[in-house]
Structure 1
């Protein structure tokens, strides 16, 4: 009931590349709008792919060979900060709910995955200005499956080493216990239903469901500390139904 009287301002979807964040964020924004709670999809990219393309045009294999690790982290942190700031200001002015495809936790995880821990303190100081989303969904995916999906879509490339490091980084963030874990290895419709189940106060049943475009969503959840949702492993080692429990 308290949620029903509260305005839903910000929802974030986070996770490693290939976890299906973009597909689910688009669907969630559409479902909220259809439910009478206008929402806007916002993609808060760090510019890493853009920087990588620039590096290749200049004859370097990747962005890190062009500007160094610290340079990459600096560019990422600034560009993502600007993207989030613009998204929040836009939604504040329009009164729409911001559905964030990536948020500040993504930058902290990127910094950890790069091994630049000293940058994390600086990033947290700068990102402290932003409000904590009312709900943050972590779309969990096995790095090997994420790698297959990225290769299948053919628009970019990530190494297994990077995906594994990023997966570990998310699970070691101090905010991890506050995330709502989503088993993104299920079919896209079922992933959407997990998200909707946690937002029942804002999303009446039947709103926003429908055919899903092809996406690259994710499989088994890694072991980690206790979190709000509960995933049960089957005898075959897979992940059973995910139960999303609403916090008071």
Structure 2
């Protein structure tokens, strides 16, 4: 059962918070909103997009007559490029946070790469990725935006800038739930409107948004996937 972070005492600085989840879960929208809300609440924050270049590679692949990046550079090539680009993005974001003293609101983090590797079936790459990403500290809070793959698919189709298959979205959702870090994620139901999801996120961050009502203990049901519903968990 998800529990609010209100149980934490004191007002420790929020150095970094990461929003993760499958494509179409609303990571970018919510990360921008959270950075703005934290700044307005007196905790200066900066948005950081830690992309792995998959969308860019997809556009390149289509221009070259290939349906997707994997058909262009192969699965191993895609995972290698994605892992390196995301590593560099996270390193720059953390460096910026260290220099400016602002909270880093991360749109994707290391767990996104581990999930991508699992969803692609490249498990042997995960050990290498974890060795490389081990240098990064864990965010103070990692929020998994749990959305039904069918809803994520509809959102992606509406935005019209890229395309993902239901098979991939379902595999990615399952991959997040099987990560060893899953028990430490704050799972937030991301199936509602952006406003509803923003309120749910802030309700789990009452240490930094003291005016927000605390999150209900059963407010974050994860989406059903091939393995069925999984009980939501949160960092104690």
In the alignment, what sits opposite 1:221? 223
Are the counterparts in 2 of residues 4 and 202 from structure 1 also a CA contact under 8 Å?
no
**Distance of 1:219 and 1:172 partners within structure 2:** 16
Change (3 A) 1:3 1:43: farther
After TM superposition, list the pairs within 5 Å mapping 1:191-230 onto structure 2: 191-205=197-211, 221-222=223-224, 223-225=229-231, 227-228=233-234
SS in 2 for 1:79: helix
In the alignment, what sits opposite 1:157? 163
**Distance of 2:206 and 2:132 partners within structure 1:** 33
Change (3 A) 1:131 1:63: same
What do the CA deviations read for 1:83-128 (whole angstroms, capped 9, x no partner)? 0000000011000000000000000000000000000000000000
In the TM superposition, residue 65 of structure 1 has moved relative to its aligned partner by 1.2
Are the counterparts in 2 of residues 177 and 225 from structure 1 also a CA contact under 8 Å?
no
1:90 aligns with 2:96: yes
Question: Matched residue pairs, number?
Answer: 219
Are the counterparts in 2 of residues 184 and 191 from structure 1 also a CA contact under 8 Å?
yes
In the alignment, what sits opposite 2:62? 56
SS in 2 for 1:199: coil
Question: Where in structure 1 are there 5+ consecutive unaligned residues?
Answer: 207-217, 229-245
What do the CA deviations read for 1:124-158 (whole angstroms, capped 9, x no partner)? 00000000011110000111111011101111110
1:99 aligns with 2:105: yes
Are the counterparts in 2 of residues 185 and 219 from structure 1 also a CA contact under 8 Å?
no
Question: Where in structure 2 are there 5+ consecutive unaligned residues?
Answer: 1-6, 213-219
**Distance of 1:3 and 1:98 partners within structure 2:** 21
In the alignment, what sits opposite 2:147? 141
Q: Note the aligned Cα RMSD (angstroms).
A: 1.8
Q: Hey, which bits of structure 1, 4+ residues long, moved more than 6 A?
A: none
The match for 1:77 among 72, 79, 83 is 83
Higher relative contact order (CA 8 A, sep 6+): 2
In the alignment, what sits opposite 1:188? 194
**Distance of 2:26 and 2:59 partners within structure 1:** 23
TM-score by length of 1: 0.84
What do the CA deviations read for 1:199-226 (whole angstroms, capped 9, x no partner)? 11112327xxxxxxxxxxx996332255
SS in 1 for 2:145: strand
SS in 1 for 2:10: helix
In the TM superposition, residue 191 of structure 1 has moved relative to its aligned partner by 1.0
In the TM superposition, residue 187 of structure 1 has moved relative to its aligned partner by 2.2
In the alignment, what sits opposite 1:111? 117
